C-alpha cells in the first residue's frame, strides 16, 4: 500500500534547489517517487505506508530548506517517535546482515579453513571488521541498483553511515573476544554478537534519521 505526502517546501529559488530536495527525499528508505516544483514550492512524495511524515520533513530540512509551518529540524527532536524507531530498526537490521556476512565469514575462514595461519586474534578481527564494512556496502549497492544505475547506487551506498557500521562491527567483535577469548564462532556466542551489533548503533541511527532524515542503510 502506498501513500502520497505533500510538503510545502520553502527556500527553493532554482532547479538546483529542487534537485537537492528531490535527492534528499529519494534517499529516505521507503520512498518510491518524488516530484518537486519551485512555484509553488512543493514536494509530492509517494511512499510506502511505514514512512512517517516527520522523516520526510527532516530530510528536506537537512538539505538546507524549510517546510511551511515547521521549525528547524533539531528544535523538535525527541526520542519518542515510534515510527522512526521502527524505520531505524529496519535500517539497522539490513546493516547488520551486510556486516555479519563479511565479519562472520572471515572469522569462520580462519577458524575452520586456516586454523594454523599464525594470525593473531586482533589481526583476524580487524580484517573481519573491514570485510564486514565491504559486504555491507556491497549489499546496499545491490539493493539500490534496483532503483537506480549501478554507479549511482554505489555512491549512495558508500555515503551511508560509517559511524553506525563501525560501532556495529566493534560491538560484535568485542563481545566475541570477551566471551570466547579470541576470534572464534560458537553456537551460543552468535546470537549475543548479533544482539550487541544491533543494539549498539540503533539509538544513533534513530537520531540520524529523526534529526537529519538520513538512513544508515
Q: Which residue has the cell 563481545?
A: 175
Given this model, what pLDDT does residue 66 score? 85
Please, are residues 56 and 47 in contact by the beta-carbon 8 Å criterion?
yes
Given this model, what pLDDT does residue 216 score? 67
| 90 in the same domain as 61 | no
| 93 in the same domain as 20 | no
Q: Residue 75: inside a domain, yes or no?
A: no
Helix axes 202-212, 162-180, angle to 10 degrees: 170
| 98 in the same domain as 187 | yes
Q: Residue 76: inside a domain, yes or no?
A: no
Given this model, what pLDDT does residue 81 score? 79
Q: How many domains does the chain have?
A: 2
The residue segments making up the domain with residue 42 are 2-67
The ranges of the chain with pLDDT < 70 are 49, 70-76, 144, 146-148, 156, 159, 212-217
Encode the chain in three state secondary structure.
CEEEEEEEEECCCCHHHHHHHHHHHHCCCCEEEEEEECCCCEEEEEEECCCCHHHHHHHHHHCCCEECCCCCCCCCCCCCCHHHHHHHHHHHHHHHHHHHHHHHHHHHHHHHHCCCCCCCHHHHHHHHHHHHHHHHHHHHHHHHCCCCCHHHHHHHHHCCCHHHHHHHHHHHHHHHHHHHCCCCCCCCHHHHHHHHHHHCCHHHHHHHHHHHCCCCC
Given this model, what pLDDT does residue 174 score? 96
Given this model, what pLDDT does residue 87 score? 78
Given this model, what pLDDT does residue 73 score? 45
| 63 in the same domain as 88 | no
Amino acid at each position: 500500500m502506498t501513500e502520497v505526502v505533500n510538503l510545502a517546501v520553502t527556500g527553493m529559488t532554482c532547479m538546483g534547489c529542487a534537485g537537492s530536495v528531490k535527492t534528499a527525499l529519494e534517499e529516505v528508505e521507503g520512498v518510491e517517487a518524488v516530484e518537486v516544483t519551485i512555484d509553488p514550492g512543493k514536494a509530492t512524495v509517494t511512499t510506502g505506508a511505514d514512512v512517517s511524515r516527520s522523516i520526510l520533513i527532516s530530510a528536506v530540512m537537512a538539505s538546507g530548506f524549510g517546510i511551511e509551518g515547521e521549525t528547524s529540524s533539531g528544535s523538535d527532536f525527541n526520542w519518542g517517535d515510534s515510527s522512526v524507531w521502527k524505520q531505524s530498526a529496519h535500517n539497522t537490521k539490513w546493516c547488520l546482515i551486510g556486516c555479519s556476512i563479511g565479519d562472520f565469514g572471515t572469522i569462520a575462514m580462519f577458524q575452520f579453513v586456516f586454523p594454523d595461519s599464525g594470525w593473531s586474534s586482533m589481526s583476524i578481527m580487524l580484517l573481519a571488521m573491514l570485510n564486514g564494512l565491504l559486504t555491507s556496502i556491497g549489499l546496499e549497492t545491490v539493493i539500490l541498483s534496483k532503483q537506480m544505475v549501478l554507479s549511482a547506487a554505489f555512491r549512495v551506498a558508500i555515503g551511508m553511515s560509517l559511524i553506525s557500521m563501525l560501532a556495529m562491527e566493534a560491538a560484535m567483535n568485542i563481545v566475541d573476544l570477551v566471551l570466547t577469548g579470541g576470534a572464534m564462532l560458537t553456537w551460543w556466542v552468535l546470537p549475543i554478537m548479533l544482539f550487541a551489533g544491533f543494539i549498539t548503533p540503533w539509538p544513533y541511527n534513530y537520531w540520524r534519521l529523526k534529526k537529519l532524515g538520513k538512513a544508515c542503510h
